[in-house]
Structure 1
Amino acid sequence: MLVFGYYLLSKLTKSTLDFDSPLRLKLLYGVAGGLFSLILMNFSVLIDQIVIVDLRLVPVIINSFFFGGLPAFITGIIITVGRLIFGNRTDVYIYSYLYAVISISQLLLMPVLKYYSGTKRLIIIFLSVIIPTVFTITCILDSVYFFETIVIVIYMILGTIICHYLILELQRSQKNFIYFEKMSKIDFLTGLPNRFSYDKNSERLFKSLDQPVVWLFLLDINHFKPINDTYGHDIGDLTLKLFSAKLNLQPYIKNHIYRLGGDEFAILLTDYSKEEIVQIAENIRKKILEIDIQVEGQKIDISASIGISNSQKVSSPVELYKFADIQLYEDKEKYRTAYYKNSTLN
């Protein structure tokens, strides 16, 4: 139940079970841990006519380990208040003091615990909870004998280990999911957002209620296939990386660049005038020409063809792409014509 509660919270808040979680999430997990503890009180196991054991303090340990002292403190205070309100035994005040001491100890331990991780940190937190608990029930209350004490300690150890392991696995699964989700949106070679990210963002821009004018640049590296075939794929990959890096250096298009596949790139911009877009395109062409690749003392010339379209005369991202692709083809033909004329003259 406890593990399911943390899993449900992480899903609802779309967050990971992390020591560096934002303050609002730490407060939320602290309160939730306290509520879990109050629920766990109702699932006690009766050892004899007097002694019962439960896992009410496990959320304190779990919160302290995964989220820090503040959530554990909040959980402990809620247990204390709950014990005062719902407790009906003569020792209710002693137990309330015990839970308050445990709560404060979690805050005091945090400066020390930051130097420990994994099993050591869990052991320190567990001891900070179990030692005052055993001391209270054996020395102050004098109501529990050796056998009952051993049962309580074993029950707490098993509850802590099982919950810790399951939540640790949940944490790993969450981090793996976030990592693979992120990687599914990124082009591995260049580090730029990929075709999937482009499709999602172009759809989002078209669906926005306050729809801005969307400008799409399609870029294609001229003579990329001959570069690949002549100098090898390692030089081809280097060309793609340097091309991407050069684009990313331009502040007006940084974070708006996508690699669609092969040597085709896209840039999505909004709310620029036609004159500004023309200037941006010219700046891109000039910057691309600055790319310097030398192979055995021979410089490889890198240039790009560009096709541009905007959303004013289209109704979907597909049409936006189609018109930009047509412009890209025309620009590439102009480049080829100029290139071959220049080759003939030379």
Structure 2
Amino acid sequence: MPATIRDVAARAGVSAATVSRAFTRPEKVDGATRQRVLALAEQLGYEPSSAARSLKTGRTGALGIMVPDLSNPFFPDVVRGMQHRARDHGYPVLLADSGEDPAAELALVRTLARNVDALVLCSPRMPDAELAEAALLRPLVLVNRTTPVTSPDLLPSVTIDNVGGVQQAVRHLRALGHRRVGFVSGTATSRSAQDRLQAFTGSTLTEGMEGVVIGSYQPTVEGGAAAADDALLAGVSAVVVYNDVMAAGLMGRLTRLGVVVPDRLSIVGFDDIALAALLTPALTTVHIPLERAGAVAVDRVHAYLTGSGGEDDEPAPLPTELVVRASTAAVRVPPNR
């Protein structure tokens, strides 16, 4: 039978009210007494009810996390980093999936906000005005999304070096002799898709290459497959794809068409999810420290909630690194234009 508050009080020689205050109002309890109560509580395996604690303090002790699509392998890795770090800090986690629907996100945030002390929004698709509204509900940190520099209320964020990652991919393809390359983009509502597209356009121009925007597609396997015919018709010898999931769909469709990768078309993905190394051929991609991004976000929330101080030592944005595998090679067959 689990220990009760009365068990702890009896062992500590104090009232049950004092035990309660040791957890919920520590400033009201003598330091030595509080330490004795907490030590005995740990020894007896006593944990105060989170519901009761919430009623007394107005705080739930929980964090809310929202992601656009848990079926996308990018997000479980980020969430894993968040959960592990939240456990280290003693926070339970509530998780919501918006199903890649920007119109549903603010309603989900409102629901989460009633049950948590702070929010982490991972790659939210909602407009900036709605983000500002969400920030009024609870303290929040963004992952893989920023607010405009011109915004009067910049929100704390953990960002990825999308520009550096795309630059590495483009330089790699140029070194292999590719001069006309394409970009398969995600949806226009994705800020990271916009960032990577812009970086691609700038990088190909800087490298003296011809950059071709193949189009915008859903960030799914099906979206990548839908881009395959367009990529072939574009007359490019290589493509950079918005994410690895889309790259997998693109490669699958090309295989069914009898197009050999990388002999006919070199492909570079982005994210370096676990699937990337298992594809045939293994996917060249840009590595993102996904779990680290999630952990840093929770650290920033914790720092705010506890008043424990300023920014962490993590670089902003988090670095990316090109991982070269078998899906890219020197130009072998000139593409038909």
| TM-score, with length taken from structure 1 | 0.26
Whichever structure has more helix as a proportion of its residues is 1
Whichever structure has more strand as a proportion of its residues is 2
| TM-score, with length taken from structure 2 | 0.26
Q: Tell which has more relative contact order, 1 or 2 (C-alpha 8 A, sep 6+).
A: 2
